[in-house]
Amino acid sequence: MTTQPPTLAHPAGGQANGLRPDLALIADWIAPGSQVLDLGCGDGALLAHLQAAKRCRGYGVEINDAQVLACLRAGVDVIQQDIEAGLGMFHAPSFDVVVLSMAIQMTHQTERVLREMSEVGREGIVSLPNFGHWTHAWSLLRGRMPVSRELPYEWYDTPNLHMSTVRDFEDFLRRLGLTITGRAFLRDGEPVGWLPALRSTQAIYRFRRG
């Protein structure tokens, strides 16, 4: 009998700490004092919160000039680099947790990114938009590409390359030999417990090698 990883079913608390809901949930998963690597860290909000609230240390990796400056203003150590250029500057494992939030769908070399996350970190956490949400299926049935809060782009200007459903992503992690240790589902920032594959707009997973 296969043991299913736990599914979180409580509010992420994003309003209380000013974080985006999926980032608030991720912050809840990270233990105090952890060494954290945040890939595609944006303005550094997650790391800034972890440093202040949980005494965590680590680095952000971000390519956008304006976001790198925002990280520096927030007191976050940041490396300006494309995450698909590789994580060879870090030894394995260098971090307790490696985070990639709402960016996995924008990667060209998705398999490489996940493998390297699991090599340089003892645990990985990924959040992603759920392409299997029922409104997306309805849009396709009407002959239109989906547009939503998590997928706000038109088909011709989207940076998203590899969209995934909940089941597809879970199968992908297992194919890479990564064990799912926790998962959570959100719809417009609120937790989803019933039929998450159809009703959630975001999925968040934590995993480790083996």
- pLDDT digit string, tens, across residues 138-163: 666 677 766 777 766 566 765 556 77
Average pLDDT of the residues in 54-77: 96
Top CATH class, 7-209: alpha beta
Confidence (pTM) = 0.85
Average pLDDT of the residues in 19-48: 96
| pLDDT at 72 (0 to 100) | 96
- Which are the contacts of 129, defined by CB distance < 8 A and separation ≥ 6? 102, 105, 148, 150, 151, 160, 163, 201, 202
3-class SS string, the chain: CCCCCCEECCCCCHHHHCCCHHHHHHHHHCCCCCEEEEECCCCCHHHHHHHHHHCCEEEEEECCHHHHHHHHHCCCCEEECCHHHCCCCCCCCCEEEEEEECCHHHCCCHHHHHHHHHHHEEEEEEEEEECCCHHHHHHHHCCCCCCCCCCCCCCCCCCCCCCECHHHHHHHHHHCCEEEEEEEEEECCEECCCCHHHHCCEEEEEEEEC
Query: Domain extents for the chain?
Result: 7-209
Indicate if the pLDDT at residue 89 is higher than 70: yes
Percentage of residues of the chain with pLDDT beyond 90: 58
120 vs 142: which has the higher pLDDT: 120
| pLDDT at 14 (0 to 100) | 46
Place of tokens 């998705």: 110
Return the closest-CA partner of residue 47 out of 78, 69, 16. Answer: 78
- The predicted-structure confidence for 163-190, as pLDDT tens digits, reads as follows 788 999 999 999 999 999 999 999 988 9
Indicate if the pLDDT at residue 13 is higher than 50: no
Looking at mean pLDDT, say which of 48-52, 128-132, 149-153 comes out highest.
48-52
- Which are the contacts of 49, defined by CB distance < 8 A and separation ≥ 6? 17, 18, 19, 23, 27
113 vs 139: which has the higher pLDDT: 113
